[in-house]
Amino acid sequence: MGAPWFKLQELAREHGIIARSSNYALYADMSNRVVEVLGAFTPDLEVYSIDESFLDLTAFRHLDLITYGQTIRQRIARWLGLPVCVGIAPTKTLAKLANHIAKKRPEFASVCDLERLSQADRARIFGEIAVGEVWGVGRRIEARLADMGIETVEALRR
């Protein structure tokens, strides 16, 4: 995983790598600003971590949630200069999976609503995602699932 900087300094110099120190105060400030923007989109907001939040959009189901998600990400980009992706689904686990899809698949333009996908499209996409990408499936569980022949999200779903 990580190594102390003094052990990597020479290698960094050889490859022209520049080290910068983290600015956690700025990161926290930007996180708070994102949460403030998100709060304008729903009163039911759960801050999960410094870079993740869950918004309950149940009351907004009458809207096109993909358009709503695009509005959210565009406002954050415009007001804060930060890129974000939006995953929309009926549960937090599925919302995180939808967010993964929104990040990794350009055809979703950074917003994925799992409920808008056809069953066939969902099965195809889930079949291309390693089961370890599911929130809560760590390396040990992933290995046990693989022993059972479950290596994709679609295999786990079935």
Q: Active-site positions?
A: 52
pLDDT given for residue 136 in this prediction = 86
The list of the chain residues with pLDDT below 50 reads: none
Cβ atoms of residues 153 and 134 within 8 Å = yes
pLDDT given for residue 22 in this prediction = 83
| pLDDT tens digits, one per residue of 8-52 | 888 888 999 888 778 899 999 999 999 999 999 999 999 999 999
Residue type, 28: A
pTM score, whole prediction: 0.83
CA angle 116, 76, 101 (to 5 degrees): 35
pLDDT given for residue 5 in this prediction = 80
